[in-house]
Amino acid sequence: MKHFDYAGVIHFHSSFSFDGHSPLTTILRAANKNGLDFLMLTDHDHLRARDEGWERWHNNTLLIVGQEISPRFNHYLAFNTRSPIFYPKDAQDIEPQKYIDEVNAQGGFGLIAHPDHGGAPMFHVKHYPWNDWAVTGYKGISVWDFMTDWQSSLQGYFKGLLSFVFPAWFLSGPKPITLSRWDKLNQTQKIIGFGELDNHASIKKFWGITFIAFSFERAFKFISTHVLTDEKLSGDGPEDKEAILQALLAGRAYFALEYFRKARGFTFCVEQEDALYQMGDEFKLGGKALLKVCLPAKALVRVMRNGLLWEKEITSGFSRQVSEPGVYRVEIYLQSYGKLRPWIFSNPIFIR
């Protein structure tokens, strides 16, 4: 079955947030310029953009409005709720299960944001990790967060300057602890993974010079999330929003650093007899099953099974027979400027 690949950005803040600095007009213009099909806005603790009619197509980019529930720790991205959910940003004793349940009670769904965010102590950036893994009812977790990854490179003034000027060169990919946790979670339940940006277009001052720490035109060149829909988007805002969100919730998604090379054209599937299974699918191993990966360029393919390396090869087309059940996902590393760089990370296929 043919699927349609749409690229977007999840988790960012407009000037509707207390710490956002770009109006939506500027953000949407940048999204159009970067060829993004959809944006999932998550301003802090409200849905003002939706209330003011921004949730719709803007030229070639569909804006979907959610919110970031953001007490001191355990930040949560909520979508499809009827009303905003608010907790003070300095509140440290709020049980996240409370707002996970509240989001679900409103008919929405939620995603755990930047679970292993460590901040940047040298530059006075606080840490905002998720610290309660006893919770239930969430649908997914951020596996690769641009800000978490980039801020981890800020380990000195000179290196920090280079990292600001050439951020993509300093991104190391999802943290091993995050990947390991995601793999472990997927052994007992289906937890979707996604990439997030968490950009605020923050205004900074350094050595007397005021500047924007990542305009959206620049930030949109980094980590995106692709979803695969069954039908081509129609141009109807509410209908297309539902199609994108349902594809994401189904796990029919991958996320990528697209600065060095675009990722569209990537496919990951398993063929068994006359059936074709995509990311997010679950099936029982019965006949001859063939795992396939196709890429738009030659790269290092790493196939992971139950969190452990199963096979690897430098190729643009990978095919292996599957003889054991397991949770299979793919990591792709691109050779660029003399270094293997993290490129594409898939959601799993569940073979029982």
The identity of residue 112, as a single letter, is I
The answer to whether 151 and 114 are in contact (CB under 8 A) is no
Q: Locate CATH 2.60.40.10 in the chain.
A: 267-351
Interval 163-215: pLDDT, tens: 788 989 999 999 999 999 999 999 999 999 999 999 987 666 655 666 577 89
Q: Locate CATH 3.20.20.140 in the chain.
A: 4-257
How far apart CA 350 and CA 327 sit, in angstroms, is: 5
Range 267-351: architecture per CATH:
Sandwich (2.60)
22-26, 38-42, 159-163, 318-322: the lowest-pLDDT one: 159-163
Q: Please, what sign has the CA dihedral across residues 56, 61, 62, 64?
A: negative
How many helices (H) and strands (E) the chain has is answered by: 9, 20
Is 70 exceeded by the pLDDT of residue 124?
Answer: no
Interval 235-253: pLDDT, tens: 999 999 999 999 999 999 9
CATH topology assigned to domain 4-257: TIM Barrel (3.20.20)
Interval 65-86: pLDDT, tens: 999 999 999 999 999 999 999 8
User: What pTM does this model have?
Assistant: 0.95
Is 70 exceeded by the pLDDT of residue 333?
Answer: yes
Interval 264-303: pLDDT, tens: 999 999 999 989 999 999 999 998 999 999 999 999 999 9
**Helix (H, G, I), strand (E, B), or coil: what is residue 212?**
strand
Q: What per-residue confidence (pLDDT) applies to 122? A: 58
CA distances from 162 to 67, 159, 221 (A): 32, 5, 17
Q: What per-residue confidence (pLDDT) applies to 89? A: 73
Interval 13-35: pLDDT, tens: 999 998 888 999 999 999 999 99
Q: Residue 148 phi/psi, 5° resolution? A: -60, -45
How far apart CA 99 and CA 161 sit, in angstroms, is: 38
Q: What per-residue confidence (pLDDT) applies to 172? A: 95
